Structure 1
Amino acid sequence: MVQMKRGALVLLAGLLMSGSAFAEQRSLVLNTDASDPAPKAAFDQLIAAFEAENPDIKVTVNMFDHEGYKTAIRNFLTADSPDLANWYAGNRMAPFVNGGQFQDVSDVWAANGLSDSLASAKASMTIDGKQWGVPYTYYQWGIYYNKDAYKAAGVEVPTTWDQFIANCAVFKAAGVDCLTTGTKALWPAAGIFDYIDLRTNGYEFHMDLTAGKIAWTDDRVKAAFAELGKLAAPGYITANHAAIDWQDAAALLVQGKAANYVMGNFAVATFKEGGMTNDTLGFMPFPEITPGIPRAEDAPTDTIHIPAGARNVADAKLFLAFLARADVQTQMNGTLGQLPTNKDSTVDATDPFLSAGFEMLSSS
Structure 2
Amino acid sequence: MVLCLAEEESMNFSRRTVLGGAMAGIGGVAATSLLAACGSSDDAKDTGNATGDVTFGSNYSDNVPKTAMANVISGYANGKNVKVNTVDHNSFQENINRYLQGNPDDVFCWFAGYRMQFFAKQGLARDISDVWAEVGGNFSEALKAASTGEDGKQYFLPFYNYPWGVFYRKSVWQQKGYTPPKTLDEFKTLCEKMKTDGLIPVAFADKDGWPAMGTFDYLNMRINGYQFHVDLMAGKQAWTDAKLKTVFDTWRGLLPYHQPGANGRTWQEAAQSLLNKQSGMYVSGTFVGEQFSGADLADLDFFAFPEINSEFGQDSVEAPIDGFMVAAKPKNAAGAKELMKYLATGPAELAYLKNNPTNVAANKTADTSGYSALQKKSAELISGAKHISQFLDRDTRPDFASQVMIPALQTFINKPDDVDGLLKSIEAQKKTIFTP
TM interval, short-chain normalised: 0.7 to 0.9
The 1:343–1:64 alpha-carbon spacing in structure 2 relative to 1, beyond 3 Å, is same
Give the aligned partner of residue 327 of structure 2.
307
1:255 Cα deviation from its structure 2 partner: 0.9
Deviation digits for residues 171-230 of structure 1 (CA, Å, limit 9, x no counterpart): 122332111121001211000111111111111111111111111111111111122122
Give the aligned partner of residue 117 of structure 1.
139
Secondary structure at the aligned position of 2:364 is classed as coil
1:292 to 311, 331, 339: 311
Give the aligned partner of residue 252 of structure 1.
273
Give the aligned partner of residue 221 of structure 2.
198
The 1:117–1:124 alpha-carbon spacing in structure 2 relative to 1, beyond 3 Å, is closer
Give the aligned partner of residue 64 of structure 2.
38
Structure 1 unaligned segments of length 5 or more: list them.
Answer: 1-21
Q: Distance in 1 between matches of 2:120 and 2:161?
A: 20
Which segment drifts farther, 140-149 or 283-292? 140-149
- Structure 1 length-normalised TM: 0.87
Q: Distance in 2 between matches of 1:222 and 1:86?
A: 35
The 1:26–1:330 alpha-carbon spacing in structure 2 relative to 1, beyond 3 Å, is same
1:158 Cα deviation from its structure 2 partner: 0.9
Letter in structure 2 aligned against 1:223: T
Letter in structure 1 aligned against 2:161: Y
The 1:286–1:349 alpha-carbon spacing in structure 2 relative to 1, beyond 3 Å, is farther
Structure 1 runs (4+) greater than 6 angstroms displaced: none
Give the aligned partner of residue 243 of structure 1.
264
Bigger Rg, structure 1 or 2: 1
1:169 to 192, 213, 225: 192
Aligned pairs for 1:62-101 (under 5 A) are 62-101=85-124
Q: Taking every aligned residue pair, what percent have the same amino acid on both sides?
A: 31
Secondary structure at the aligned position of 1:95 is classed as helix
Q: Distance in 1 between matches of 2:176 and 2:254?
A: 18
Give the aligned partner of residue 108 of structure 1.
131
Deviation digits for residues 3-62 of structure 1 (CA, Å, limit 9, x no counterpart): xxxxxxxxxxxxxxxxxxx9x97211111111122211221111111112xx1x311111
Q: Superposition RMSD on alpha carbons, in Å?
A: 1.9
Which segment drifts farther, 165-174 or 200-209? 165-174
1:332 Cα deviation from its structure 2 partner: 2.1
Give the aligned partner of residue 301 of structure 2.
282
Secondary structure at the aligned position of 1:292 is classed as coil
Q: Distance in 1 between matches of 2:135 and 2:65?
A: 26
1:326 Cα deviation from its structure 2 partner: 2.0
Secondary structure at the aligned position of 2:181 is classed as coil
The 1:116–1:44 alpha-carbon spacing in structure 2 relative to 1, beyond 3 Å, is closer
Q: Distance in 1 between matches of 2:169 and 2:360?
A: 23
1:115 Cα deviation from its structure 2 partner: 4.8
Deviation digits for residues 39-98 of structure 1 (CA, Å, limit 9, x no counterpart): 11221111111112xx1x311111011111112322221111210110000012122111
Letter in structure 1 aligned against 2:334: A
Q: Distance in 2 between matches of 1:151 and 1:340?
A: 30
